[in-house]
Structure 1
Amino acid sequence: MSGRALLNDTWAVVTTPRPIVDAVVRSVCGRAVERLVPLAGGGLNETYRAEFAGDVAVVVRIARRPTPWFIDEAHLMAQAAAAGVPTAQVLGLEHLDHDGEPLSFSIQQFLPGRSLEELSGELPAFALERVVAEAGEILARVHSVVPDDQRGIQHELRLPDEHEVARVARIVATALGPAAAAVVERGANFLRQEVTTRTAPPISLVHGDFCPKNLLIHDGTVAGFIDWEFAGPASPAYDFAQWEVDAGEPLHDRVDLVRRGYARVADPGTADAGWTPAFAVDWSLEKLGWTNPAAPAQFRRCVDVIARYTVC
């Protein structure tokens, strides 16, 4: 679908020697690091909070890729920020070689708060609904950005490959039984129908990983959208679909709240142009085929989402 699968679960996170991290942060910030704290939820990268004297901190993200990384991400984050999206300022990018391995560093402003994923079980229902709707409103600002070039990850629907579908069906049959494997086949047929009979959807900037783990909540409001590594040009339906697949309990069935907030800025129906089901099925099929499988609850969720849109 997007080239994103190439990145998922294929890069082992290796710890970068502390002196290298200290040197890069000092070169960008001009200050010595007093404390380096690993952060959870860094995805495919090493992610730290680098603390200086006086309770000042920055976020350090380190990627191991064959080519310099984070450049497109920084550009797209700046575009989103200009549209009113709360996102961290990128303070500097550095690229270096360590023992023959290229390292890319993104030094970013530290945003206070906790992820909505962490808070979803603590917030009262009314507060949870309010921040999810607020996230939807901010998402509409993301989608208001028309990419000025083809930077970022390309999220495109593609015709399912028959051999890949058969492989995924076998995986699902082993894990969940033949009825679930039949759902996979229906999903592939549905996707083929959508891609071959409909006009391609309109394109905007999408976040590319829109789910509770990447929404920071501070003082009861959405303080930041984080982790723009998978941002790029696509149909806005991609972000709606990803929430439905990836948000987790109890929020994955509340995309209505996202759309309610979105409607404060733009019409979600016009934005997704009816393509959310296709993107949800496509993303679910992709996740079901990962070499390193998704967690059991996510695996089951993918099958359930496909079934929802392919009822016989």
Structure 2
Amino acid sequence: MSSKKTVKQHNPYQKYLEEKHNKLNAPNEIIEKVVKRATNSTMVNKKRIIEGEVNEVYEVITKDNQRVIVRISRSKHPRFEAEEKAIRLALMAGVPAPKVLLIEKVSLENENLTFCVEKKTEGQPLKNLMQNIDQETLKSIIAEAGQILSQIHSVKLDGFGGLDRDELYRSWEEFVLRPKQKLERITEAVKTMRIDINLVNEAIKILKDHTDLYKDTSPQLLHGDFSIKHFLIKNNHIVGIIDFENAKGGDPVFDFAWLNYFYGQVVPIDWLKEGYKNKDLFDSNFETKMKLYRLHLGLGFIDYYEYEKNEAGMNHTRQKFLEELKNF
């Protein structure tokens, strides 16, 4: 018992999450009212979930035994409405995703809150089960994830970038080269992260030198944060894919690159490819695009994690960024 506590205390990322979530405390009476409107029942139990980096999150049980997830955003530009659109499209394509019951904005004296209430999917995040799953079972689950990812990508969209008007791009090339537009901010961030600015300029040049690979992309629905944190497992099968908040229109290879960026050491990308239906995606450019998109992600995370002052995130990003540059 004591050893588990010690690990938790010395996990920098967990400490960051706990400190951040401790500062997020929406009034209980407001949560009760929102839950009532979403479920037409009274909240009887509320448990905080300390997982994500953005929202205040609770698992709620109502008097008539409905189980819902309540997420609360303090952003000036909350993404819940765009996420609900992505979930709706994914559900139509047969993806096991949670149904959104209510999105509501609440103005308080000192802050504006946006609530999203969705039905809880019974299951545990795969990330939390990794130590108790044998390799063959894990391989089977990841193949399932590949099949589900095919269903997500089967949805055709009209534009690139986020599913709200504030995040649209004229082309996929413009999205991939977004770090160039943020160079001033990234230049400030690398000072804290001890990264040579010349390496950032080199990375942006690499992205620019491969624009021919982005030009013929048609916008398909991307999950945007496809990872083992968001695969809900029950009886060794995926019963839900959650957190479509970063969903966007773009190149399907981007979702492969995202999973590979964070979990490539424990989840072989070949397992995901095995379950994926459209094998034409894995052409001669697939590996190169994976490398380019991981480089794009690294540049974005330099900005994000330094802004958040997330020490664990900054350390991981610096290490990954230097590794990815060696691929070119």
Unaligned runs of 5+ in 1: 1-8
Residue of structure 1 equivalent to 2:149: 139
Query: Of 130, 134, 137, which aligns to 1:120?
Result: 130
Query: Of 263, 277, 280, which aligns to 1:267?
Result: 280
Aligned residues: 293
Unaligned runs of 5+ in 2: 1-16
How far did residue 132 of structure 1 move? Answer: 1.0
Query: Of 212, 217, 220, which aligns to 2:233?
Result: 217
How far did residue 235 of structure 1 move? Answer: 1.3
Decide whether the 8 Å contact of 2:213 with 2:289 is kept in 1: no
In structure 2, relative to structure 1, the CA distance for the partners of 1:270 and 1:98 (3 Å cut) is farther
1:89 paired with 2:99, answer yes
Post-superposition Cα deviations, 1:48-77, rounded to whole Å, max 9, x if no partner, equal: 111123543111111112256411111110
How far did residue 203 of structure 1 move? Answer: 1.7
Residue of structure 1 equivalent to 2:14: none
Equivalent residue runs for 1:182-201 within 5 Å: 184=200, 186-195=202-211, 199-201=215-217
Residue of structure 1 equivalent to 2:242: 226
CA distance in 1, matches of 2:29, 2:95: 34
Query: Of 292, 295, 298, which aligns to 2:312?
Result: 295
In structure 2, relative to structure 1, the CA distance for the partners of 1:68 and 1:255 (3 Å cut) is closer
Indicate the larger mover: 132-141 or 45-54: 45-54
Q: Which amino acid aligns with 1:128?
A: L
CA distance in 2, matches of 1:222, 1:145: 20
In structure 2, relative to structure 1, the CA distance for the partners of 1:98 and 1:266 (3 Å cut) is farther
Post-superposition Cα deviations, 1:143-175, rounded to whole Å, max 9, x if no partner, equal: 11012566245571116546566556555546x
Query: Of 193, 204, 207, which aligns to 2:220?
Result: 204
CA distance in 2, matches of 1:70, 1:165: 27
- Structure with the higher fraction of residues in helix conformation: 2
How far did residue 233 of structure 1 move? Answer: 0.9
| DSSP 3-state at the match of 1:95 | strand
Post-superposition Cα deviations, 1:224-246, rounded to whole Å, max 9, x if no partner, equal: 11111111112112211111112
How far did residue 276 of structure 1 move? Answer: 2.2
How far did residue 300 of structure 1 move? Answer: 5.0
| TM-score under structure 1 length normalisation | 0.82
In structure 2, relative to structure 1, the CA distance for the partners of 1:71 and 1:50 (3 Å cut) is same
RMSD value, Cα: 2.9
Residue of structure 2 equivalent to 1:256: 270
Residue of structure 1 equivalent to 2:60: 50
In structure 2, relative to structure 1, the CA distance for the partners of 1:16 and 1:160 (3 Å cut) is closer
CA distance in 1, matches of 2:186, 2:158: 35
In structure 2, relative to structure 1, the CA distance for the partners of 1:233 and 1:280 (3 Å cut) is same
Residue of structure 2 equivalent to 1:5: none
CA distance in 1, matches of 2:192, 2:143: 36
In structure 2, relative to structure 1, the CA distance for the partners of 1:272 and 1:23 (3 Å cut) is farther
Residue of structure 2 equivalent to 1:244: 260
| DSSP 3-state at the match of 1:34 | strand
| TM-score under structure 2 length normalisation | 0.79
